[in-house]
Structure 1
Amino acid sequence: MTRFVRILIAVAAVIALLVIVFLAYAHTVMQGERPEALEAWRDDAVEITSAEAGIVIEPVEGATGEGLVFIPGAKVDPYAYLYKLSGVAEASGLTVVITKPTLNLAFFDQRPLSTFTALAPGVDDWYVGGHSLGGVRACQIAADGAGGTSGEPVAGLVLFGSYCANDLSGSGLAVLSISGEHDGLSTPEKIAEAAHLLPSDAESVVLEGANHADFGDYGVQPGDGVSTRDDAEVRQEIAEAVARFVG
């Protein structure tokens, strides 16, 4: 065996090891740990169905014909958002589709918006949103929709503990930013610094005492601030904010 072949084998082994490590990292997600996350399955106000591409939450009564495609934060189990987003569906009449991102990381999921809107064919108009890095990805999708390049028009954007990295200031999109006072990851300072990337009439709601993980139900997240809020109260405030925005 020549030295060159040995080097190639060694390089291939290193690459294979890195791929295995990355896949293990990507598939280790923050699971829905709080009991409230499971209560959504028994919420009589919504009907929940799971498909390969996402989870659909439909209001039993009062559906408006509008929907929200929601992108989870990095490495957060999509099911960890059921409790909070079932409240959104009930209060606003929106049909919510929680995506199941490729490798549990939104930036690796390049499927078109239509992949997820197809899960709720009865919905005519769609908002897009997300939590944390899922919100950053939602900003990119919203830009494509506003520019007519995504194949799926977007009615507006909802950020949950998140902010944009691309410029939407001239998009004309309706935007709602919901943030947490004690968020240690998407901090109030980071959200304020990125506010110029949103349209000037973007709406902002700050949840007093809430942290980053309060937007889902998956336990403590490293680097986050400490929440001083009751989980049910946070759920209600998020639901009311979205309902006002789309109402």
Structure 2
Amino acid sequence: MSSRRRGALRTAVIVLVAAIVVGASGFLVYANVTSAAEREPLAEVADDPAVLIDYSRDSVVLTPASDPNGEGLVFIAGAKIEPVAYAYKLSGLVDAGYTVVIVRPFLNFGLFETRPLSAFTALAPGVSDWYVGGHSLGGVKACMYADSPEVRGLVLFGSYCANDLSGSALTVVSLSGNDDGLSTPEKIDANKAALPAGTTFVEIDGANHAAFGDYGLQAGDGESSIDDSDMRDAITEAITGAWR
């Protein structure tokens, strides 16, 4: 190979490596720019004497202050959403006696998460029976955890499964919003076949994609017309009704 060709090849390799480095760096920056939790709903959870909060950057553990029922939910946050942004909407479950562990997935994208479910259930050692769930892409990852033998059921917020759970005996609750512009009612309906025949489907009137958390507006979403407290109540009633 001539020196000119070696030089051209070396230059091409350098350019390729530089492009990979720049692309990876750009993605890391993008992945770590997240939607923060709104203050008022979070303050309401903090002021609730029935809920104990233990949180770090990567997880939020909500525990009943009294009479926990020994059951819990591991909930995977949606893409680029702070875990604590789901605390208010899930706090009704805690008031009902359930422990809730809200997880930040690796790089803030559920599909990049590779840790075993036990890494999250270990955060609440007092829980003996577990459900898994998630919002949007977090729900897709939750479906993958649902095959674990310790899991009793699955909860989806504006989400659907990429893997087939239709033959499982899981208790599944699929919540959607009729004004969701991302996980639209049509998409939810088109993916029903991946869930067990006994799945509870609840379409919440006036809810959009972002209504399942408290983190502000989301590009491409519909407009929500449901009050936050009504949304929290709808979530709580649908899930606890299926879990009884």
- TM superposition score category, shorter chain reference: over 0.9
Question: What is the correspondence of 1:76-225 to structure 2 with a 5 Å cutoff?
Answer: 76-91=81-96, 93-143=97-147, 145=148, 148=149, 153-225=150-222
Counterpart selection for 1:16 from 21, 25, 33: 21
What is the TM-score when the length of structure 1 is the normalising length? 0.93
The match for 1:245 is 242
Number of residue pairs aligned between Structure 1 and Structure 2? 239
> 1:11 Cα shift?
1.3
What is the TM-score when the length of structure 2 is the normalising length? 0.94
Q: In structure 1, what is the Cα distance between the partners aligned to 2:114 and 2:238?
A: 29
> 1:52 Cα shift?
5.7
For the pair 1:44 / 2:41, whether they are aligned, the reply is no
Alpha-carbon contact 2:52-2:65 (below 8 Å) kept:
yes
Q: In structure 1, what is the Cα distance between the partners aligned to 2:126 and 2:142?
A: 22
> 1:3 Cα shift?
2.6
Return 5+ residue gaps in structure 1 as ranges. none
Alpha-carbon contact 2:71-2:129 (below 8 Å) kept:
yes
The match for 2:75 is 70
Q: In structure 1, what is the Cα distance between the partners aligned to 2:203 and 2:68?
A: 27
Q: In structure 2, what is the Cα distance between the partners aligned to 1:32 and 1:176?
A: 25
Structure showing greater radius of gyration is: 2
Q: In structure 2, what is the Cα distance between the partners aligned to 1:118 and 1:169?
A: 28
Greater relative contact order (Cα < 8 A, sep 6+): 1
Letter in 2 for 1:10: V
> 1:66 Cα shift?
0.5
Q: In structure 2, what is the Cα distance between the partners aligned to 1:200 and 1:132?
A: 21
Alpha-carbon contact 2:171-2:243 (below 8 Å) kept:
no
* Alignment deviations for residues 73-120 of structure 1 (CA, whole Å, 9 cap, x no partner): 1111111111111122113x1100001211111111110000000000
SS in 1 for 2:146: helix
Alpha-carbon contact 1:53-1:115 (below 8 Å) kept:
no
Alpha-carbon contact 1:34-1:218 (below 8 Å) kept:
no
Letter in 2 for 1:108: F
Q: In structure 2, what is the Cα distance between the partners aligned to 1:165 and 1:66?
A: 26
